[in-house]
Chain A
Amino acid sequence: MRARDIFGALVLAFTGGVAQAQAADATSMTTDQDISGLQVSDPFEDVNRGLFTLHTVVDNLLLEPAALGYRYVVPGPARTGVRNVLRNINSPVVFVNGVLQGSPSKAGTTAARFGINTTIGVVGVFDVANHLGLKHRNEDFGQTLGVWGVGEGPYVFVPILGPTNVRDGVGRIVDVAFDPLNYAQYDGDDAVNVSRAVLAGLDAREQLIGPINDIEAQSADPYATMKRVYTANRRNDIKDGAIDVQALPDFDSSVEPSEAPPIADAAPASGTGAPR
């Protein structure tokens, strides 16, 4: 099968899944619709919360300590070098998604970055292209689907990998197919691919030490906060930072007493369970 046929089959399979999820959403009691209007479909909330709890245990025991160790052992400039190499290796995926999003400037910048950083930047350790004004872009197939108008589908929390949704989860799988390193065969290719995955995980978790600690410390419901933050980040990525100001809630609308929710509404629609 050609890549285009595989891609087409995946998209149709996925959209079938999204259609089912959307039908489920219509009757789901657990769609998270908070007051300000950030709607996140979460029909699998009970399962997601269980997986989030499991993940938190593993994260506290393993992932965060490993990331802290990485931060302690590897100095800042070296960590930056690692991140630059990882980004450089990922350039083909970013390039393909730039093309698919119909954005020649994104694709062109990425190609130029790859060329410059791989050569002058010493296999990508030094982000020389950034100093030349060619900024790093982070594009993936989940964003490409979003640009094409495909909805997020239900929120899914995957232990170890973290928050995602059906569309972005499919996107990650397709990006694996876009990555030439996953096809290349050479001596030690397995070791390289495993090392790359481990380093990418350490790098990602190390960057999130502060934000995740903030969420744990300041949130009444870290699961729900992470869901909203992840979703908001992704929507922002898809729009490349553009803001629809009309979608923001009115700031000065005062609530009349007649609009107050009845006391029975205190039962959590977001399924927060027992009070803390």
Chain B
Amino acid sequence: MQTRRSTLAVVAGALGALALPVGRAVAAGARDADAEKFLISVANSTLQLLDDSKGAAADRAAKFAVAMDKYCDIPGVARFALGRYRTRFDEKTYAEYSQTFRDYLLAAYQGQLDRFRGETVTLIGSDVRKPGDVVVNTKVSQKRTGNEDLQVNWRVRKGADGGWRIIDLSALGVWLAIEQQANFAAALDQGNGKPEALIAYVRRSAADLRAGKVKKPG
């Protein structure tokens, strides 16, 4: 966000010495039509899938899982969520973690996306971070709740097989996978860095999400 500072030049100059670059200028990057086409198609079909009231809830969950496995890089997100703690997990604990994480991610994403079931995702544009790593910007309608459209940004990445996959999404400035990484780091800190503590935490979270439970502090 750039401003005209003509009338505020004196104040801005005084602040300049102390300013941190919070509001960085965002250079307009290139777009990627391929990534945009993938994302709009997948996002809309997934929201329609969640809105299918003909089938049972278990069927919807199963179909959602198939879509997530296909269109979301779950193993990549699992690895990303561990961050630098990845090396504390040996092969066995990592396999257990991966399976538990998948259950957790499916439960978390279905819970979040269910609020938008049946809504429409409209393309705003996209921004190429580097070739094969694109942020697609969209707005999602909220007709059921009567709220204004919500801007949702999706980060998609091209895999070795040439197919696009979703690796993260953000709304109101918060990126889910990045937030998960920070949250898992806190869980690991509390468990003295033990992988088993994180696995137990992720398993508990997945169970709570599936049961629709809300934990109260204290």
A8 interface residue (CB < 8 Å to B): yes
B86 interface residue (CB < 8 Å to A): yes
Inter-subunit contact A35/B182 (CB<8 Å): yes
B152-171 interface code vs A (CB 8 A; 1 in, 0 out): 01010100000000011010
CB distance from B196 to the nearest CB of A (A): 13
B193 neighbours in A (Cβ, 8 Å): 263, 265-266
Q: Tell me the B14-40 residues at the A interface (CB within 8 Å).
A: 14-16, 18-24, 26, 29
Q: For the complex, what is the distance from the CA of A254 to the CA of B24, rounded to whole Å?
A: 28
CB distance from B92 to the nearest CB of A (A): 17
A151 interface residue (CB < 8 Å to B): yes
Inter-subunit contact A251/B87 (CB<8 Å): no
Inter-subunit contact A240/B1 (CB<8 Å): yes
A172 interface residue (CB < 8 Å to B): no
Inter-subunit contact B80/A80 (CB<8 Å): no
A187 interface residue (CB < 8 Å to B): no
Q: For the complex, what is the distance from the CA of A266 to the CA of B190, rounded to whole Å?
A: 8
Q: For the complex, what is the distance from the CA of A15 to the CA of B13, rounded to whole Å?
A: 12
A100 neighbours in B (Cβ, 8 Å): 8
Closest to A4 in B: B11
Name B3's contact: one of A38, A148, A236, A244 (CB within 8 Å).
Answer: A148
B interface residues, tally (CB under 8 Å): 74
The verdict on A220 contacting B201 (CB below 8 Å), with A60-B216, A147-B23 known, is yes
Q: Tell me the B172-218 residues at the A interface (CB within 8 Å).
A: 172-175, 178-179, 181-193, 197, 201, 205, 208-209, 213-218
Inter-subunit contact A235/B173 (CB<8 Å): yes
Q: For the complex, what is the distance from the CA of A12 to the CA of B181, rounded to whole Å?
A: 38
Inter-subunit contact A233/B214 (CB<8 Å): no
Name A135's contact: one of B4, B21, B88, B148 (CB within 8 Å).
Answer: B148
Inter-subunit contact A238/B1 (CB<8 Å): yes
Inter-subunit contact A249/B178 (CB<8 Å): yes
B16 neighbours in A (Cβ, 8 Å): 149
Inter-subunit contact B172/A236 (CB<8 Å): yes
Closest to A260 in B: B87
B151 neighbours in A (Cβ, 8 Å): 241
Instruction: Pick the interface stretch among A155-163, A174-182, A194-202, A267-275.
Output: A267-275
Judged by DSSP, the binding face of B is mixed
A249 neighbours in B (Cβ, 8 Å): 178
Inter-subunit contact A239/B182 (CB<8 Å): no
Closest to A60 in B: B216
Q: For the complex, what is the distance from the CA of A152 to the CA of B155, rounded to whole Å?
A: 27
Instruction: Pick the interface stretch among B45-53, B56-64, B94-102, B127-135.
Output: B127-135
Inter-subunit contact B190/A220 (CB<8 Å): yes
Q: For the complex, what is the distance from the CA of A252 to the CA of B83, rounded to whole Å?
A: 10
CB distance from B123 to the nearest CB of A (A): 15
A222 interface residue (CB < 8 Å to B): yes
The verdict on A36 contacting B216 (CB below 8 Å), with A12-B14, A266-B189 known, is no
Q: For the complex, what is the distance from the CA of A217 to the CA of B174, rounded to whole Å?
A: 17
The verdict on A146 contacting B23 (CB below 8 Å), with A38-B178, A229-B179, A239-B1 known, is yes
Inter-subunit contact A102/B5 (CB<8 Å): yes
Closest to B115 in A: A210
B137 interface residue (CB < 8 Å to A): yes
A220 neighbours in B (Cβ, 8 Å): 183-184, 186-187, 190, 201
B55 interface residue (CB < 8 Å to A): no
Name B26's contact: one of A216, A243, A256 (CB within 8 Å).
Answer: A243
B1 neighbours in A (Cβ, 8 Å): 101, 147, 238-240, 242
CB distance from B188 to the nearest CB of A (A): 7
A252 neighbours in B (Cβ, 8 Å): 76, 157
Q: For the complex, what is the distance from the CA of A232 to the CA of B193, rounded to whole Å?
A: 26
A135 neighbours in B (Cβ, 8 Å): 148
**Chain B interfacial positions (CB closer than 8 Å to A):** 1, 3-5, 8, 11-12, 14-16, 18-24, 26, 29, 76, 79-80, 83-88, 108, 127-129, 133, 135, 137, 146, 148, 151, 153, 155, 157, 167-168, 170, 172-175, 178-179, 181-193, 197, 201, 205, 208-209, 213-218
Q: 9 smallest A-B Cβ distances: which pairs? A: A236-B173, A151-B20, A266-B193, A149-B19, A102-B3, A220-B187, A260-B87, A268-B189, A35-B83
10 residue pairs A–B, Cβ–Cβ below 8 Å: A60-B216, A149-B16, A149-B23, A220-B186, A235-B173, A236-B174, A239-B24, A251-B133, A269-B189, A272-B190
Given A35-B185, A243-B153, 9 other A-B contacts at CB below 8 A?
A: A76-B146, A136-B148, A149-B22, A213-B214, A219-B183, A239-B24, A245-B129, A247-B24, A268-B186
